[in-house]
Structure 1
């Protein structure tokens, strides 16, 4: 057969790599993967503000690379997903260093010192690639970056690698001054997010036998345990090992203690993003966190305050990457068909127990500690249905019902109170398996009561200028009266 050799256009490829959707924290986590694979014990990340010349660097003390190794590492997809990898290698596509770096910076410089003491430096300058139409990997780097590298990778360090990002996309603006406080605050805010993210993604390495230490701008990265393993009130299900397509999936489910039992550690255990973002499955690949709180698209599973205490770890072997559809950024995964029924079963049990803990504790607390006048709303269940009522014992409600010299002021204050304190979270918690359906307006009420409420609205409309027919029509369009027959429909 005849054929054409069609090489990818460098400029178009760069645009595609920049558009993969990396956040700065996910991009730096990809660099740390390489440090872990190199056997590093220390990984330090630096954010240095200098206006449009600001830079970011990740430095490790791993075994480093010789010239050939560095050139391979800088080559797009030199080691694809088909390549055999060492145990502990967190790579997958051979794209992480390049795709992560190109998503954040115009210039990527890597200096690596191998165990024989030889240092090699290579640079990708995307403007050179775009301008030349060729993948020109530059030897060495510019003088400014060389000065940085001399500090980041000093001569007395036996081996290691330094990755430097220059001409950062979000800050490489000609008139961005060093004194721009808003931009500087944003820049160092990213450093804080990176610190939290690394503590979450690499917690097992920071806590485990590998004794990895990490810092961000000199601040030690603290591991975050999403399962609060050491808390005495944690509830755990028996761990399971389930064979899937020739590999073993390990699952361990946890229900966290009620927040009232967490004291000062509540926010810490909630984790980055808070309770709602962190509920669900935690998918690990070679101890590296891929997904941090996700319901994996399972049937009828969605984020809900009732399940804030449900967290489930899932360990997936690297050999199952393709089956789990792990992406280039190592931040998404889709469970294979054979795993879904097991995840569904364990997820349902964990969610059910998590809702019970929140609901039970909430009801006890309300009974024991809340006086009759504390809340503007009252919630209870009757006959398998939730009832939500305005608390007529609340002093402001009683004052409005009594009517007085300041009744209009009291009414306005009551309306604001009801708006601001509507018990949405409590309703969601109570909407558990034992509840048949959501509340319906006026369900179970005597018809006279509903008619009385509609009549008061009708009278108010007439007093405010509507004709009787207009007032009836407007009442008839209001929920819930639009669902019922009555005088407002002329019947």
Structure 2
């Protein structure tokens, strides 16, 4: 068999790597992966505006690399298939190069281990295109020395600096161009937000990574609002995949009315709640994908509070189709049925929470229904909970009472309003306990609730309402709308005949 080596043309391969579709924030996150894998405790990202000479750097205080390790790291796919440690966030051995080539024509990397000098290597993509060869430059170019020295000054000890220059998106721009400068500064905000989400477990977790963008600390963004008392964390389930366990933990976020304006905006970020519902896929605590149902179901407003964390073992990457950018993944076919069952349960809980919110709104705004209680929000933001004095039962009681009795009844109603056991109710609500009290003890038609319902029918009939209409009104009134009794039996028959 005759063979002949057909090596890829360097300039064409560089162009292909640069066309992977990296955003700036995704590329920076790929470099931060390397810093965390090197056990860095401090990572600095700097975006420096200087017009066409603008540059971006990522510096860390990790273990650093020897000279041979640096050359290997600069070689495309040199670590393809290499066995990785349990804390290594890499996969293909291409992240440094593909992430950098997407945004820079000049890539300089400096690294050192303890008690070593700095080792520096440079890829000049214009030189590669000109010579048609992979010519790795030893040391830094004159163009890179100023920014590189500025970045190296931030590291006292071992560490690594990755420097991007000749950013194609800003070639030809002047330092005074305010419009282009504004776009460059927007990238800084995008990077900050993306890193806060992607690495939120590292920023809050035991590994305690300090991450800064232009000297400002990156704040972690927990998509599940786990510190909020009203967040419901459902039981974690485990699914077996190729000998490894995939852990799934559903969360139901608090209804928006239970959040402050700031919390509500933070929970939706720029994308909004609808887009952020769904699966959050993690690989070694690093977020790969945020939101979306992956064809398990459609996005619907009633599921806005459902967010589900999936822990994907790195050993199962191939099953999840994790891409080079580590920004997308796809649930394997073998897990889709149990995943659909888990998502169904989470979405049901979210829908129940949404209905409860709607009921609260109706209690405040719907004049067609007779609620026993009225909720109102004052101008200072506080909420009042008052017994509905216009309820038919109360009106009937007051209209047949003497003056002294009316005074006593009103006093009793006011006492009940002011003596609400708010702390106890809050505990019961926030924990969503199985032993929460139910109206009439979840009674049957022969309990006290039937007598209360019959008294209400008598009151409505006395007011000139037909018995059938009275039953219909009661069947739509909390708590009877969730209970079975004589008030809804006729309606059930009608629906059956229909």
2:150 counterpart SS class: helix
The gaps in structure 2 that reach 5 residues or longer are 369-498
User: Which residue of structure 2 aligns with residue 358 of structure 1?
Assistant: 354
User: Which residue of structure 2 aligns with residue 57 of structure 1?
Assistant: 57
Give the Cα–Cα distance (whole angstroms) in 2 for the partners of residues 128 and 290 of structure 1. 34
2:170 counterpart SS class: coil
User: Which residue of structure 2 aligns with residue 255 of structure 1?
Assistant: 252
Give the Cα–Cα distance (whole angstroms) in 2 for the partners of residues 273 and 44 of structure 1. 26
1:265 counterpart SS class: helix
Give the Cα–Cα distance (whole angstroms) in 2 for the partners of residues 273 and 164 of structure 1. 30
**Offset of 1:155 from its aligned partner?**
8.6
Deviations 1:239-273 (A, max 9, x none): 01221121100000011010000113111122342
User: Which residue of structure 2 aligns with residue 131 of structure 1?
Assistant: 130
**Offset of 1:348 from its aligned partner?**
1.3
Which residues in structure 2 correspond to 1:24-423 (within 5 Å)? 24-80=24-80, 82-154=81-153, 157-173=156-172, 176-263=173-260, 264-298=262-296, 301-369=297-365
Give the Cα–Cα distance (whole angstroms) in 1 for the partners of residues 155 and 35 of structure 2. 19
Q: Considering only CA atoms, is the larger Rg found in Structure 1 or Structure 2?
A: 2
Give the Cα–Cα distance (whole angstroms) in 2 for the partners of residues 117 and 225 of structure 1. 39
Aligned CA distance change for structure 1 residues 2 and 267 (closer, same or farther; 3 Å) = same
Give the Cα–Cα distance (whole angstroms) in 1 for the partners of residues 366 and 10 of structure 2. 67
**Offset of 1:139 from its aligned partner?**
1.2
Give the Cα–Cα distance (whole angstroms) in 2 for the partners of residues 169 and 349 of structure 1. 48
Deviations 1:89-131 (A, max 9, x none): 0000000000000011111111112122221111111111111
Determine if contact 1:250/1:314 at 8 Å carries over to the other structure: yes
1:223 counterpart SS class: coil
1:57 counterpart SS class: strand
Determine if contact 2:255/2:305 at 8 Å carries over to the other structure: yes
Determine if contact 2:241/2:316 at 8 Å carries over to the other structure: no
**Offset of 1:294 from its aligned partner?**
1.9
The gaps in structure 1 that reach 5 residues or longer are 373-491
Give the Cα–Cα distance (whole angstroms) in 2 for the partners of residues 200 and 193 of structure 1. 11
Aligned CA distance change for structure 1 residues 155 and 281 (closer, same or farther; 3 Å) = closer
Aligned CA distance change for structure 1 residues 155 and 360 (closer, same or farther; 3 Å) = closer
The two structures, once aligned, show a CA RMSD in angstroms of 1.4
**Offset of 1:297 from its aligned partner?**
2.8
Give the Cα–Cα distance (whole angstroms) in 2 for the partners of residues 9 and 266 of structure 1. 51
Determine if contact 1:226/1:271 at 8 Å carries over to the other structure: no
Aligned CA distance change for structure 1 residues 34 and 369 (closer, same or farther; 3 Å) = same
Determine if contact 1:153/1:160 at 8 Å carries over to the other structure: no
User: Which residue of structure 1 aligns with residue 402 of structure 2?
Assistant: none
**Offset of 1:370 from its aligned partner?**
5.7
**Offset of 1:371 from its aligned partner?**
6.5
**Offset of 1:343 from its aligned partner?**
1.2
1:294 counterpart SS class: coil
Give the Cα–Cα distance (whole angstroms) in 2 for the partners of residues 212 and 288 of structure 1. 13
Deviations 1:342-371 (A, max 9, x none): 211111111222122123212321331467
User: Which residue of structure 2 aligns with residue 16 of structure 1?
Assistant: 16
Aligned CA distance change for structure 1 residues 361 and 48 (closer, same or farther; 3 Å) = same
1:170 counterpart SS class: helix
Determine if contact 1:242/1:248 at 8 Å carries over to the other structure: yes
1:351 counterpart SS class: helix
Give the Cα–Cα distance (whole angstroms) in 2 for the partners of residues 11 and 165 of structure 1. 18
User: Which residue of structure 1 aligns with residue 424 of structure 2?
Assistant: none
Determine if contact 2:61/2:155 at 8 Å carries over to the other structure: no
Q: Structure 2-normalised TM-score?
A: 0.72
Give the Cα–Cα distance (whole angstroms) in 1 for the partners of residues 187 and 291 of structure 2. 21
Give the Cα–Cα distance (whole angstroms) in 2 for the partners of residues 253 and 156 of structure 1. 41
Aligned CA distance change for structure 1 residues 320 and 340 (closer, same or farther; 3 Å) = same
Answer with 127-136 or 302-311: which moved more: 302-311
Give the Cα–Cα distance (whole angstroms) in 2 for the partners of residues 129 and 342 of structure 1. 50
1:177 counterpart SS class: coil
Give the Cα–Cα distance (whole angstroms) in 2 for the partners of residues 169 and 149 of structure 1. 19
**Offset of 1:51 from its aligned partner?**
0.8
Give the Cα–Cα distance (whole angstroms) in 1 for the partners of residues 171 and 89 of structure 2. 31
1:328 counterpart SS class: coil
**Offset of 1:142 from its aligned partner?**
2.1
Runs of 4+ in 1 over 6 A off after TM superposition: none
User: Which residue of structure 1 aligns with residue 379 of structure 2?
Assistant: none
Give the Cα–Cα distance (whole angstroms) in 2 for the partners of residues 118 and 347 of structure 1. 53
Deviations 1:110-165 (A, max 9, x none): 11121222211111111111111101111112224212222211297111111111
